[in-house]
């Protein structure tokens, strides 16, 4: 355990003025913490909704050296707001170590998917935050992109207007009815792709509604909507804080797929963001290939499980076939973690796991059966909340 480090666990609403000022100072001192998920206004909104949410106030010698926002799931903890918080981590002085904090909190493990950390952790995989740099304005940004890609999108935009009417783009705070519409569309997409419905638990929708209530000029939800002839062909909900905007929940109408409506909407979002003084638009961790069309790798982010004792894969590392087992295990862990984040109770987790296996089994019967065994094992070993 790190020498002299102590943790005091409080509700987010209990942070006093001095603690809030210290949070903001620590965040301002580290540029990689500039994204919306580290903004106290997001943390407070998430803490008011997410079950088991807490803030660890980290002190050494009576001086605050950091904070860790988290939500507890049995013997495990997760980033506060998971699975909604694409980026997460300590808001702390550089020498504060995450495993030491977990030990102080009595946690057996912490599962992360977009950990922003100044310190490498050997057990975690490295990805990169993908972002579009708009500091020079939209025209300067365009100059860094593939001319063939941009030419193709201009051609598709002309075809969309020719076939369906004038193309109109808006980028504003979402009205609650439009927000509800987008969530309904996203849930339909989730069902089609057999993902776990992160909105079925209720508190995730409550979080979006709370964020929609913010009237701060430099913080809150922004909804990009692309219409053709009055019909919505693509939309994306994002979160703005300061001069950063994070793309969050996109949807598009499959009937318009030939026009690349998602790409057209993203380009218009970047244009509008640059006009409003946004310096960086985040696309989340490197994962989907399409992000490379719009963004470049920035700082590393980490994914995996920070465990207080060695995992099975630690012992298997280097063995024949271990890499393949590890990759399958990571995919399963992401699913289990998402279910546990949304459903803190065991019954909700069991239902979520059963729904996932049913959907997967319809597409891949043999794989679905194997994953079902894995989920059962995960429950018995406490990989989900216990």
Is 182 part of any domain?
Answer: yes
Question: Do both 29 and 63 map to the same domain?
Answer: yes
266-275, 303-312, 328-337, 343-352, range with the lowest pLDDT? 343-352
Question: Do both 29 and 120 map to the same domain?
Answer: yes
Is 80 part of any domain?
Answer: yes
Question: Do both 78 and 190 map to the same domain?
Answer: no
Which residue among 260, 291, 306 closes a domain? 306
Average pLDDT over residues 42-67: 97
Residues whose CB falls within 8 Å of the CB of residue 44, separated by 6 or more in sequence, listed in order: 12, 13
Question: Do both 111 and 159 map to the same domain?
Answer: no
Is 164 part of any domain?
Answer: yes
Full residue range of the structural domain in which residue 195 is found: 135-278
Contact indicator for 203, 213 with CB cutoff of 8 Å: no
Question: Do both 183 and 262 map to the same domain?
Answer: yes
Question: Do both 11 and 72 map to the same domain?
Answer: yes
Percent of the chain with pLDDT over 70: 83
Question: Do both 175 and 117 map to the same domain?
Answer: no
CATH, residue 56 = 3.40.630
| The model's pTM | 0.86
pLDDT tens for each residue of 80-109: 999 999 999 999 999 999 999 999 999 999
Q: Which of 144, 9, 124, 126 is nearest to 77 (CA)?
A: 9
Question: Do both 35 and 113 map to the same domain?
Answer: yes
Number of domains in the chain: 2
pLDDT tens for each residue of 111-149: 999 999 988 898 899 999 999 999 999 999 999 999 999
134-143, 356-365, 377-386, range with the lowest pLDDT? 377-386
Is the model's pLDDT at 17 over the cut of 90? yes
Is the model's pLDDT at 340 over the cut of 80? yes
Is 318 part of any domain?
Answer: no
Residues whose CB falls within 8 Å of the CB of residue 202, separated by 6 or more in sequence, listed in order: none
How far apart CA 1 and CA 289 sit, in angstroms, is 40
Question: Do both 265 and 140 map to the same domain?
Answer: yes
């Amino acid at each position: 355990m790190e020498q002299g480090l102590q943790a005091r666990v409080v509700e987010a609403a209990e942070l006093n003025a001095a603690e809030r000022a210290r949070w903001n100072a620590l965040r301002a001192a580290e540029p990689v913490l500039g994204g919306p998920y580290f903004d106290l206004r997001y943390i407070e909104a998430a803490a008011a909704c997410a079950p088991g949410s807490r803030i660890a106030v980290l002190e050494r010698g009576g001086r605050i050296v950091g904070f860790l926002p988290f939500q507890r799931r049995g013997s495990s903890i997760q980033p506060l707001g998971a699975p909604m918080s694409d980026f997460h981590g300590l808001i702390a002085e550089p020498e504060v170590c995450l495993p030491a904090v977990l030990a102080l909190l009595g946690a057996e493990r912490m599962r992360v998917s977009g950990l922003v950390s100044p310190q490498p952790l050997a057990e975690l995989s490295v990805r990169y935050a993908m972002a579009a740099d708009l500091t020079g304005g939209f025209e300067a940004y365009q100059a860094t992109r593939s001319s063939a890609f941009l030419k193709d999108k201009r051609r598709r935009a002309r075809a969309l207007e020719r076939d369906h009417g004038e193309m109109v783009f808006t980028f504003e705070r979402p009205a609650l009815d439009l927000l509800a519409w987008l969530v309904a569309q996203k849930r339909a997409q989730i069902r089609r792709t057999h993902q776990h419905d992160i909105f079925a638990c209720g508190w995730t929708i409550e979080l979006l509604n709370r964020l929609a209530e913010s009237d701060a000029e430099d913080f809150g939800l922004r909804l990009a909507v692309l219409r053709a002839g009055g019909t919505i062909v693509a939309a994306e909900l994002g979160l703005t804080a300061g001069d950063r905007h994070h793309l969050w929940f996109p949807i598009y109408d499959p009937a318009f797929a030939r026009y690349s409506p998602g790409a057209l909407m993203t380009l218009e979002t970047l244009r509008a963001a640059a006009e409003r003084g946004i310096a960086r638009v985040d696309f989340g961790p490197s994962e989907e290939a399409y992000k490379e069309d719009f963004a470049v790798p920035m700082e590393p982010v980490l994914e995996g499980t920070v465990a207080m004792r060695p995992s099975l894969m630690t012992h298997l590392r280097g063995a024949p076939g271990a890499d393949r087992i590890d990759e399958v295990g990571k995919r399963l862990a992401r699913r289990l973690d998402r279910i546990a984040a949304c459903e803190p109770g065991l019954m909700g987790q069991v239902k979520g796991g059963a729904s996932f296996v049913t959907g997967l089994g319809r597409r891949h019967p043999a794989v679905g059966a194997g994953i079902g065994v894995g989920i059962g094992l995960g429950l018995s070993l406490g990989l989900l909340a216990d």
